[in-house]
Amino acid sequence: MTLIYDEVMATTVVDLPLSYSDTESILYALSVGLGRHPLGPKELPYVYEHGTPLRTVPTFASVLVPDMFPPDLGWDFSQVLHSEQRMHLYRPLPAAADLLINKRIVGAFDWGPRNGAVILFEAEGRLASDDTVLFTLGSTVMARGDGGFGGPMGKGPKPHRAPRREPDLSCDFETRKDQALLFRLTGDRNPLHVDSALAAKAGFAAPILHGMCTYGIACHAILKTICDYDYTLIAGFEARFSAPVLPGDTIRTDMWQDGNVISFRCTVKGRNSVVLRNGKCTLTV
């Protein structure tokens, strides 16, 4: 199979019904590290539905769209690499909701047989009850085995650049050895994150953590340090995936605040490996 440009660009899904409950909201919060201190009054509202209204981690929206990257697109799915993720929230996510999802491909760029192809995906989530838009998502994917399909040249959105100064603050989170086993329950069952033999074939010493989990941990860091756990303050979140994380690694999120824009970068302590770069979190105020 090969990518066919006109067919790729015509790939759309309209009004896909999707429902989630507070169980999924709590599971996502746990999977990106909230609730490690069960008696902590600021994290408890994200993992306990009684007493106060349940809060939702803003990046929970990023795992709500099923099959964001359809395996039957005509590409070599084994060579697909999720390279960037973008999210915009128009209002805080409710703890439970019935949604309608629209999905489409907004760009397919041919970088040649040696360099692969770049595919841009977008999705929108709306409340089924009144069509209110809750969020939009954008993803950039490298199809490393599909260059030369005859599409146009082009690039994805311009990456955000962090200021050239020392970080204003940093936050360390130690991931659990079983973090990938927990995060996969939010929707990504790729065996690369579980199966040691498959991970070895892909060139990894062990199963790696989901990039989207690292993305959520970065959000957790900003939620904790700058937002004081006020989830309503985060309206936008974007980053580029640059290196793998192994479950058990400690992720350091460096942050620079300029008005309502938080630039951020994630590294693995001890390996000095940058795992998320070009991070940008937009605050509502």
Q: Which residues are catalytic?
A: 188, 193
CB atoms within 10 A of CB 78: 10
Q: Residue 68: how many CB atoms within 10 A of its CB?
A: 21
CA 215 to CA 164: how far, in whole Å?
22
The string over 120-158, giving b where at least 16 C-beta atoms fall within 10 Å of a residue's C-beta and e elsewhere, is: bbbbbbbebeeeeebbbbbbbbbbbbbbbbebeeeebee
Take residue 11 and report the two structure tokens written for it: 């790939």
Phi, psi for residue 277 in degrees, rounded to 5: -135, 170
What distance in Å separates the CA atoms of residue 99 and residue 66, rounded to the nearest whole number?
Answer: 12
Q: Residue 205, SS3?
A: coil
User: According to the 3-state scheme, what is the secondary structure of 69-93?
Assistant: CCCCCCCCHHHEEEEEEEEEECCCC
Query: CA 24 to CA 63: how far, in whole Å?
Result: 10
Round to whole Å and give the CA distance between 232 and 272. 32
Tokens standing for 97?
Answer: 């909701």
- Whole-angstrom distance, CA of residue 112 vs CA of residue 152: 10
Size of the chain in residues = 285
Report, in this order, helix, strand and coil percent for the chain, each rounded to 5: 20, 35, 45
Assess contact for 111 and 154: CB atoms under 8 A: no
Which tokens sit at 227? 């937002």
